[in-house]
Amino acid sequence: MFVISVPFLLWTCDPVFAAKSKTFVYCTEASPKIFNPQMATDGPTFNASAQTVYNRLVDFKRGTTEVIPSLAESWTVSQDGLTYTFDLRKDVKFHSIENYTPQRNFNAEDVIFTIDRMRQKSHPYHQVNGGVYEYFSAMEMDKIIKDIKKIGDYRVQFVLSRPEAPFLANLAMDFASILSAEYGTFLLKKGRAEDLDTTPVGTGPFVFQRYVKDSMIRYKAHPDYFLGKAKIDKLVFSITPDPTVRYQKLKRGECHFAAEPSPTDVAAMESDPNIKVLHQPGLNVAYLAINTEKPPFNDVRVRRALYHALNRKAYIDAIYLGHGEVAKNPMPPTMWGYNENTKGYDYNPDQAKSLLKQAGLAKGFEVELWTLPVSRPYNPNGKKLGELMQSDLAKVGIKAKPVTYKFATYLDKASKGEHTLAQLGWSGDNGDPDNFLNMLLSCAGVKAGSNMSRWCNKKYTDLVNQAKQTSDPSRRAALYKKAQELFNTEVPWVPIAHSVVFKAMGKNVSGYTLSPLGTENFYGVDVN
């Protein structure tokens, strides 16, 4: 039987918990960057905000990439694909928090406030807390959304400047979470606009209560949630970066769910009668981003040399313990539009040396190698992967110096292009190839900060732009396959792996559903 341990009781110091309310503890791998998913692209932030506090107009059916109604009850799309009209759900209540009680329910004003904040530079919140909206900008939503019209209190119309095949799925993504316009106005009057992104108010299943930086986040169930109150009364995120420590806390009953278990612990977890482990092929890719703006990596011969120098099969064996496969494309093979015919680059140190010699670098060079500071679904051990990469690069004359930062800092600096080589990865957000090929590698992604290789190839960008502007699936797939061929020729990344994703939890946890999108949502979860 799964039992809450004495240390955990002492840690919570919560009289409500002591009164036997159901508290669910999630041992997460990293701190959120912020509590507004508009301003992030990382899983820890999405889990701590979009999946707990907020809802979107549409959502993904649990465990799938099927788009279903959420704050919008229904929608219609015009024949030319340029007008989306949403009928909104009524009687949806926003959260009450300390020092703020909403005076009205969700309506069309909140949709317009949310989208306009990202698209209009004149919006009073546009520049608050940095004013960077990576997803929105990288997907060119500011150009695609020509106008938003309030048709009534519960009807909103999006007018697009061009057809956009993945538009509906895009609105189901975390960055499109709906904020409260009334709360925004309240904070402006109080002179506390920054709180909109750090003390969130949404319509979601859990109400934000408190964040202790790099330690824990506390939520309580939203009593008036429009889909019904959550089965658990309180939700605690215990921020625990070390996967071994997360496993030990799971064993001791100090958490009910451990994020991103290390592959080295999976066999032991599966043999423990108090722990259950779920797994599925990840909709993800791990990669080494090459900053193509910085010499010598502005020379494609050097990028190809790097690709040949890295023994990626050995990484699958040592880091993933076989629970993954070597990547050759920038999107996973389980996704439609995947190009089976690209060849990738084999492990060939001699060829790497030859290419370096052709580039005038026969004596090698020194470079920083940024290693991921946290375990992620696509990369369970960035430090060890860095050591293996460092060894491989030394064999061809490249002296790599490992460098890392706290996760939020790491992502922030990489998005600004401060790195030369950086381990990164991506879990798909909406099941569409556009989410990988456009978001991570287009010219718009360079400006938005999501294209970490800073590779702006107009031919490539034209291909992915054509693909998302046609509704013919076979035509779209053909264009995406051509884009993958160009990626393979130009090598802005070294693709590393597509991993199997594991989830570990106590045997007494029920109602959890694995998401192909890599995020964690604990609505519907119970502790028996």
Amino acid present at 40: A
Angle at CA of residue 209, ends 207 and 212, nearest 5°: 135
Q: Which of 228, 239, 214 is nearest to 92 (CA)?
A: 228
Residue 315's SS3 state is: helix
Residue 197 has phi, psi (to 5 degrees) of -100, -5
Ranges of the chain whose pLDDT falls below 50: 1-18
Bridge partners of residue 325, in order along the sequence: 498
pLDDT number for residue 196? 98
pLDDT for position 20? 72
Residue 424, C-beta contacts closer than 8 angstroms, at least 6 positions apart: 286, 287, 288, 289, 372, 414, 452
Going from the C-alpha of 368 to that of each of 240, 294, 349, 362, 401, the distances in angstroms are: 27, 12, 20, 19, 5
pLDDT of residue 16: 41
Which pLDDT belongs to residue 121? 95
What is the rounded distance in angstroms from the CA atom of residue 133 to the CA atom of residue 114?
12
- Three-class SS state of 462: helix
Residue 235: beta bridge partners?
24, 219
DSSP labels, 445-461:
HHHHT--TT----HHHH
SS (H, E, C) 32-72: CCCCCHHHCCCHHHHHHCCCCCCCCCEEECCCCCCEEECCE
CA dist 175 and 33 (Å) reads 13
Helix/strand/coil for 148: strand
| Per-residue burial over 37-59, b = 16 or more CB atoms within 10 Å of its CB, e = otherwise | bbbbbbbbbbbbbbbbbbbbbbb
Q: Using alpha carbons only, how large is the chain's radius of gyration in Å? A: 23
For residue 373, whether the previous peptide bond is cis, meaning omega lies within 30 degrees of 0, is: no
Q: What is the structure's pLDDT at 1?
A: 34
pTM: 0.86
- Return d(Cα 315, Cα 347) in angstroms, integer: 12
Q: Distance (Å, rounded) from C-alpha 420 to C-alpha 289?
A: 8
Residues 6+ apart with CB under 8 A from 391: none
Q: What is the pLDDT of residue 285?
A: 97
Question: Which pLDDT score is estimated for 429?
Answer: 86
Q: What share of the chain is helix, strand, coil (3-state, %, to 5)?
A: 35, 20, 45
Burial of 99 (0-12, 13-18, 19+ CB in 10 A): exposed
CB atoms within 10 A of CB 318: 16
Residue 218 sits at the vertex; the CA angle it makes with 214 and 224, to the nearest 5 degrees, is: 150
Nearest Cα residue to 30 out of 341, 309, 369, 379: 379
- Give the pLDDT confidence score for residue 9 in this predicted structure: 39
